[in-house]
Structure 1
């Protein structure tokens, strides 16, 4: 049985990781730290007259601030209702948030199917122009080709696949599709894309290592680790789009009802990372499940594992592949939080223990390169 206190701590740490995906400063601020305050402190005290003026100004602002808080809370209630409706609609997710070629699911299945050969991959990749180009470019550069090599470059797709081998082909195309799914912009959270990519690569590599350790399908584990958090990326994209959509609609309603005071407050509302982090925590796993359920994969069947994550199944109750993902993502989150100095030793012990990450598993995961995909020689 899982310790309820351990589960609670793990939940806090996972939420903190969501904060960190948005920005370092926001994650620190939620813990009560401020970098500017740590770097400099003012020793100047307010003069009595300044203090009195400040108190008077605060009293005048109090009523206005209470009204702003009320309007903001009402707005976000409606925003989250809107988000829930969109998350429940897989057609919206696939038409507005995640558009891709119909060959992509076939590619995923080919990576998981043992019988898929080089010619099969060649046929699928050839029908995805951007992947065809990226694949050939990749195998003509390190680590597949020495930087100063004078050998002729491989230009033919079929030869390129045979040159690197099927195992490497699978890793290359999966990573390139995952990169293709990254959002073009996450303004104003410009560090999100880089840290998200760092996280999913680390999780994919750890999943692959643990699958080998537990004697499970390494490619499926790698695929699951690489794409399990796609809902996080899509949830952020959805939130950033929905914010103005809902805000503008409410502003129009306020003016229609003669409430210019409400319209003014709504017009001044800015994106709040506190609400975004809550939205990511609430909707990420739901969206990931919707994506894999809609894909209807035949061989790369991972929807049941993502569903177990969505349903917050305890580690002991989860299937072996879900346990692999749980341990891989937990270790990856721990290492990223540790690097950012946002997790204490006692928290880390509880966080890892909650997912049965003992010395043997840590020994396996310490073998993993968390930043780069390791290809076969």
Structure 2
């Protein structure tokens, strides 16, 4: 009988599976499967099979098994080549930062300006204006039914001016709104055949950001820095996701060309059946994601938003007791949000949750505060007397 994995490893693997799809995560969270088999072979309507049908089905199954074995071998070869090329591409941090992630040159300055005590909308506006998509998204956001203003007669006041949009949101809200809009912009849009990746990566980022913000509040640390750290701590997964799907297409295309040139009809046909490997992508996440996030956050070269050292500690997987205060916030916020996401999808029980969270050294009062916190929405707050202009 195999030795049971530590609870933290079980939960991390289950959470990783959730990124690919709920059904896969459910399989990992189940107890022993039911291995009872029927005493005799039956078809889909329960009719007992004749011997000739049994033989025919057996032969079909063997042929399918042989073909699947061939596909599995090809998949392994494709994955090996992807890893070789991935190792090479990951060496170029500038390409990852500027091309794959697409960080605007003024983004670090925008976040830095918001974090200083003398921050003002006047200092922020010209920087935000240089990022055209961000300006557009902020104005669109303010005109959403949830946020738009009305005059004394109940008539909607449309906003088409960046200064007005920034003023209405206010600096404290913008410390959450801007990092979240940036992260959403970075999320890959094509992840077939795993469409849930986009949703889960967003839930992971926003939830960790909000959890870190609350824990930082308890610890009397900078809540804006903590939110940005939690929001950005998985940028490595965004880059790796883009890179993996591009490399899969590239490697398969090259393999198809080689098979065509060599007139290997069976291999040529089989290659067209392959799809990106979910387990292959998860293995890449596990090996590279945290370190790539650390490199990219360091590359942002913040002057005021002091989050790079904490991300470096997280990537090094230091024990909680050896981490800096902000490093602990990230470790705690990341783990707590994973617990909450698994709980939402009924993939963790209370005994598992207690064991998983027990060693995190959560500060006094943090768990009760987090329990009452919505980790899926920003829940912005506005002053009642705030003017729209």
TM-score in same-fold range (> 0.5): yes
What TM-score do the two structures reach when normalised by structure 1? 0.86
What's the counterpart of residue 314 of structure 1?
Answer: 319
- Measure the CA separation in 2 of the matches of 1:16 and 1:358: 26
Hey, what does 1:203 align to over in structure 2?
A: 208
In 1: Cα distance, 2:53 partner to 2:115 partner: 69
**Aligned with residue 187 of structure 1, among 192, 195, 200:** 192
Residue 170 (structure 1) aligned with residue 175 (structure 2): yes
The corresponding residue for 1:15 is: 13
Q: Where does residue 36 of structure 1 map in the other structure?
A: none
The CA distance in 1 between the partners of 2:124 and 2:339, in whole Å, is 36
Q: Is the alpha carbon distance of 1:55 and 1:359 closer, same or farther for their aligned partners in structure 2, counting shifts above 3 Å?
A: farther
What residue number does 1:38 align with?
A: none
* Structure 1 residue 220 displacement after superposition: 0.2
Alignment partner, residue 373 of structure 1: 378
- Contact kept, 8 Å, 2:193 with 2:275, in 1: the verdict is no
- 1:37 aligns to what? none
> Match for residue 57 of structure 1?
60
RMSD across aligned C-alpha pairs, in angstroms?
2.8
| Counterpart-to-counterpart distance in 2, 1:144 and 1:264 | 54
Residues 256 and 123 of structure 1, relative CA distance in 2, 3 Å threshold: same
**Hey, what's the Cα distance between the residues in 2 that align with 1:135 and 1:319?**
34
Per residue, is there more helix in 1 or in 2? 1
Q: Determine the C-alpha separation between the residues in 2 that align with 1:241 and 1:228.
A: 22
Structure 2: gaps of 5 or more residues: 32-43, 383-389
Per-residue deviation, residues 303-340 of structure 1 (Å, max 9, x unmatched): 22222222221212222112111111211111111121
Moved more, 64-73 or 307-316: 64-73
Distance 1:304 1:46 in 2: 66
Aligned-pair CA distance for 1:210 = 0.6
Superimposed CA distance per residue, residues 111-154 of structure 1 (whole angstroms, 9 cap, x where no aligned partner): 33333322110111121222222223333445544578426444
State yes or no: 1:243 paired with 2:248.
yes
Structure 2 length-normalised TM: 0.84
Is the contact between residue 136 and residue 157 of structure 1 (CA under 8 Å) also seen in structure 2?
A: yes
Compared with structure 1, are the counterparts of its residues 43 and 298 closer, same or farther at alpha carbon in structure 2 (3 Å cutoff)? farther
Counterpart for residue 81 of structure 2:
78
Larger RCO: 1 or 2 (CA < 8 Å, sep 6+): 1
Offset at residue 365 of structure 1 (A): 0.7
Matched, 1:304 2:302: no
Matches within 5 A, 1:27-106: 27-31=25-29, 43-106=46-109
Deviation sequence 1:236-292 (CA, Å, 0-9, x none): 222111111112223334455565544443333222222222222222212212211
Cα pair 1:352 1:358 within 8 Å, conserved: no
Bigger drift between 41-50 and 325-334 goes to: 41-50
The total of aligned residue pairs comes to: 366
Task: Indicate if the aligned counterparts of 2:19 and 2:196 stay in contact, CA closer than 8 A.
Answer: yes
For 2:286 and 2:136, how far apart are their aligned partners in 1?
36
For structure 1, the residue ranges without an aligned partner over 5 or more in a row are 34-40
